[in-house]
Structure 1
Amino acid sequence: MGPGKRGLLTAAVTVVCAVTVLAVPGTAFAAPAPPPPPGASASAGVGAPAGKDLEAVREKLDELYRAAAVATDAYNAAEEKARKQSADIVRLAKKIAEGREKLDELRDRAGAAAAAQYRGGGLPPEARLMLSDDPQEFLAGAGRVRQGQHATNGLLREVTRTQQDVEQYARDADAQRGKLEAAREAKARAQKRIEQRIEAAEKVESALAEEEREQLARLEQRAADRAQGTWLSSGILDGIGGGTTRAGRKAVAYATAQIGKPYQWGAEGPRTYDCSGLTSQAWMSAGLGIPRTSQAQWQQLERVDIRAMRPGDLIIYFDDASHVGMYVGDGVIVHAPRPGRTVTLAGAGSMPILGVVRPDTTAD
């Protein structure tokens, strides 16, 4: 490698060291390919010192993009909360308006009752009854007085209850506005973290020459191939069947139809996707709504043994459940990998598997 290329690579490694504070551990995303032959070196085709330096760059890029994935999940969760809280505020505002309309109606009724009493000479019904000389009129009037008292008491209770409801709706709306503001602040913080990590990764890659970027891509592919080869050699697919449900087939068809579309953090299609945006939209297209984020998918969907997984199931990756792909069969997933990549097929074992979840628990 000439002095110029060596200088570019040294600059890239220097940038890697400068952005270490932004990163968390991780593994590269890549498409599936046959595992390397026994004894093959990860730096085959790359000079020893350059291969070692590029491997450090590869690992650091993985860390940065993994950190961006974690922040993206936090952003998506905050976005989902903000949507729900906005909808709650609208619902409460409607209840407040309805309650105020009801109060106005009740007050009109109370006013009408007071006006009727005024027209009756200002005396309450009980007083007018006591002044009656007709026993029959007295008995008939007593019943009307009791009915009037019940109606008046009921009207007063309804006014009080409606007033209390309106005040409670107003307090709930204030609380939801506070939560909405907190969700928006969390979204802004997550967005800043995402942008910082992606910017740092792009700075690392921009310091590489074209030949070095090609070598880096080969290193990423080899790392994924090794992981997939190890996973397959365990015999993990021996007991896995190929059956799925009608909804599962629809979800797989949707997800694979997105192959080639760019990754975009926070995106749910139709032109760009992030990892959980792809899986949630695929299942929505099959008529089943599932949680938006990979972490919520892991927490809320039914977990199944990896040897029982079927096409349409979701494979959750990394200890923090920060990535998800959809199993399509034959040891392969479809997923949206990370910034700078497109929706693609990859080996299901090319990343550390946390577990498998099943959106559709029915059977055809």
Structure 2
Amino acid sequence: MKGKLILEDGSVFYGTLVGDSTAVGEVVFNTGMTGYQEILTDPSYCGQIVALTYPLIGNYGVADLFQQSRKSFVRGFIISELCEEPSNYQCENTLIQYLTENEIPCIYGVDTRAITRRIRSNGTMKGVIVPEDVSEEVIKKYFDLVPAMKEVQEVTTPEVYVMENSGPHIVVMDFGIKRNILNSLHNLGCKLTVLPADATSEEILKLNPDGIFLSNGPGDPKDVPYAIETIKELIGKKPIFGICLGHQLIALALGADTYKMKFGHRGSNQPVKNLLTGRVHITSQNHGYAVEESSLENIDVLITHRSVNDNTVEGMRHKKLPVFSVQYHPEASPGPDDNTYLFDEFMALLPKGV
């Protein structure tokens, strides 16, 4: 079926739909050459329609091994060329079958680079994917009826669960955590107790963990004030490591500020400079908000990492307390192992560190 993507600024892009479903959400782009299934199942994309800049998608199929959460939370997918005959020894299914079975709205045969250029120029904006013959009146209703999102509540674990192990006990606050992050900590020997995003400091401290991990997640960090208050009460009580949304929540809990970026950082090729070592690491990122650097001036933290592309804050560390965070994903493998040292640094802060 023929379809179209309409952006908030009125621009229209035509293509072919997978099925006949519609999608409404914030349109963003990802510059990674691989990892489309990880993108589809990364909870940080909740509420968003994702355009992939790499032209050929689906060429290695899909497999459960690459699944990052219990389901896909994206609102829609935009592809230039959709490969229907994948070739890979790990392939269990085609991407088009995966999209169909999981009812993920997708439009392909679209000029994704033109879409990317428009977003880079005008900033992230809302968009809708609809069949080609849908009227302007109906499209306007889609834009007008975009609901207020509560992304973190949608993606967090509905119940507490434990990943047993013999090493240090880590409490994970799940704001939309990826499977690979849990595996990275578990492979280091950690016992993990994963709690919903609205867990209180009393509930966390009652478990007497050796450390606390604050996960990635979708949306504006200011939309989860309950988590900010919880983190305020935890700082100084236990070692804390945060990534992505967790990084932003630590900043807010310390009294700093965050802001919405023009089009964000999304891709597996983002260069970040470690200011403590002088090394530049290639990182995987997915965020549309950042920590406002000027708001850190009177707070007892050290900026440890910066984006090479736009100089935004990519990491920080408290000068006195065992609290640190980064804005990117150390568990992802664009390096492929450049950034796993951050997990080792977290382990070294723990009373039972290895």
| TM-score by shorter chain over 0.5 | no
Q: Report which of the two has the higher share of strand.
A: 2
Q: Report which of the two has the higher share of helix.
A: 1
Interval containing the TM-score (normalised by the shorter chain): under 0.3
